[in-house]
Amino acid sequence: MTKPSAEALKAEILRLTREFAALQHGANRPSEENDAPFVPGTTPVPYAARVFDAEEVTAAVGSALDFWLTLGPEGEAFEREFAAGLGVKHTLLVNSGSSANLVAVATLTSPKLPAARRLLPDDEVITVAAGFPTTVAPIIQCGAVPVFIDNDPVTGNVRVDQLESAFAAGRTKAVMMAHTLGNPFDLGAVLEFCRRHDLWLIEDNCDALGSTYSLPRERAQALGFSENSPGLPSDGVHITRYTGTWGDLSTQSFYPPHHLTMGEGGAVNIVQRPPLKTYAESFRDWGRDCWCASGKDDTCGKRFQWQLGELPRGYDHKYIYSHLGYNLKPLDLQAAIGRAQLRKLPGFTIARKRHWQALRDGLADLEGFFEFTLPTHARRWQRGEFEWDDSGARADPSWFGFMLRVRADAPFTSTDLARHLDARKIGHRRLFGGNLLRQPAFVQLRRERPQALRVAGEMTGADELMERALFLGTFPGLTPAMLAYELEVLHEFVRSRP
């Protein structure tokens, strides 16, 4: 009997993998394809979860059979496809969104940058108080000083009116902050502030993949932007770009709750300045000076002709280190999963917006008990529409979650609500770390090294978010039955209060 070829065996394995995935993972499909039974009060409603089908499982198995393992052809393809779709110069894969933030901040410390712009020990980076800790931790880990300003509780984002008071001439070098729950922060105001003071901007885009931000054309052009992100239509009046494409660097997370997943994983996006790719790549890859990809040698054509540091001329360039770096690469198998996810991103974005709107519509009658998030630049929500401010700017979030705040005069607290939702098996989360300045790690830091951070003003908005806010999921796997159950439980909870 003739033995089947390796190619034939692989094809058969992948065929069987698709069959297995269809049988085993039906509950993980997007909501419009998900026919798994839902039993209210018994079936959990997660705030976020992996959404995938046979494509991702087959991609993972195919990559495992190829057994490249370390970042390789799938990673190179993902980086190229992701950068092209987002509209940035380069994307570098890393092993998590937190690592992406670390690499992004470390990149700005490179001695290869102009001295006046290099982030040095004790230089300052402006950030916001309420959010996820690993947006801030890399600033401290790289020897710089985070300067905290407050959040607007209505949008969850930075209070841009505090930017100037946080600035210290000669010390402030950068701004780093996240688009909260997918809601773009006021990029127009932040960018104008950064341009005025020659500061770097790092966008933590981990919760906002697929969100867009628009500026009036003349205002955008004054900031150096002349066209929309790829795939976004033009209205002739605005320039519209994806979040993560306005700053100098941006970061992504591909952890399962996020807009697309590799299991673990993240990315650093180099928006416009190609040299930053070389520095970021070095910090990701052990700090080496060589830019050859894994498994490739001498792409510069002079591997044994360099003389750097105090090394002898001709020392192997693959073992010359210009930075104190890390090893933060993911596996090629993860990139294969990410490529399959990337093809689903437009549908995922539509679903997240649809689910947010369904929750907002369904809770309109509870405005006496809850305050609701608004997109940046929106003044109010009414009958499914937003009324916008006079700036001409617009934010269109791909929502990571649906945040609500318990009113101060409500007959219950956010903790009461959290316990009720938990008892009914409805997943929810606080706004991550709340006011980070009140977290044990930061309290300890302020006690031991008060000069390690600076607080610019009162953090009343961050405290409000910490005390009164929580969010429900908007992820693409939520079904109409799950959303209806969430609305029913919230109404039941309010009716049960004295």
As to burial, measured by CB atoms within 10 angstroms (0-12 exposed, 13-18 middle, 19+ buried), residue 293 is middle
CATH number 3.10.20.600 given to 346-495: no
d(CA 336, CA 63): 7
Q: Which amino acid is at 243?
A: T
Mean pLDDT, residues 211-219:
98
CATH number 1.10.3720.10 given to 73-340: no
Mean pLDDT, residues 375-380:
98
Give me the half-sphere count of Cα atoms (radius 13 Å) on the Cβ side of residue 331.
15
Q: Do residues 302 and 134 touch, judged by C-beta distance below 8 A?
A: no
CATH 3.90.1150.10 residue spans of the chain: 346-495
Pairing between strand 238-242 and 212-216? Answer: antiparallel
CATH 3.40.640.10 residue spans of the chain: 73-340
C-alpha dihedral sign at 85, 88, 89, 95 = negative
Q: Could you say which DSSP state residue 115 is in?
A: T
The CA-atom distances, in angstroms, between 40 and each of 20, 29, 278, 279, 482 are 28, 19, 52, 51, 8
Rounded-to-10 torsion of CA 293, 298, 302, 303: 80
Inform me whether the pLDDT recorded for 36 exceeds 90.
Answer: no
Mean pLDDT, residues 411-431:
98
Residue 30, number of CB atoms within 10 A of its CB: 18
SS (H, E, C) 159-202: CHHHHHHHCCCCCEEEEEEECHHHCCCCHHHHHHHHHHHCCEEE
d(CA 363, CA 324): 51
SS3 label, residue 309? coil
d(CA 395, CA 240): 9
Q: What is the pLDDT of residue 291?
A: 86
- Among 218-232, 291-305, 419-433, 434-448, the range scoring the smallest mean pLDDT is 291-305
Dmax over CA atoms of the chain, in Å, equals: 80
Residue of higher predicted confidence among 23 and 293: 23
- Among 128-142, 181-195, 294-308, 370-384, the range scoring the smallest mean pLDDT is 294-308
Catalytic residue (one of 90, 179, 258, 317):
258
Determine whether 238 is an active site residue: no
Q: What is the pLDDT of residues 92-111, one digit of tens each?
A: 999 999 999 999 999 999 99
Q: What is the pLDDT of residue 272?
A: 95
Inform me whether the pLDDT recorded for 1 exceeds 80.
Answer: no
Inform me whether the pLDDT recorded for 39 exceeds 90.
Answer: yes
Inform me whether the pLDDT recorded for 66 exceeds 80.
Answer: yes
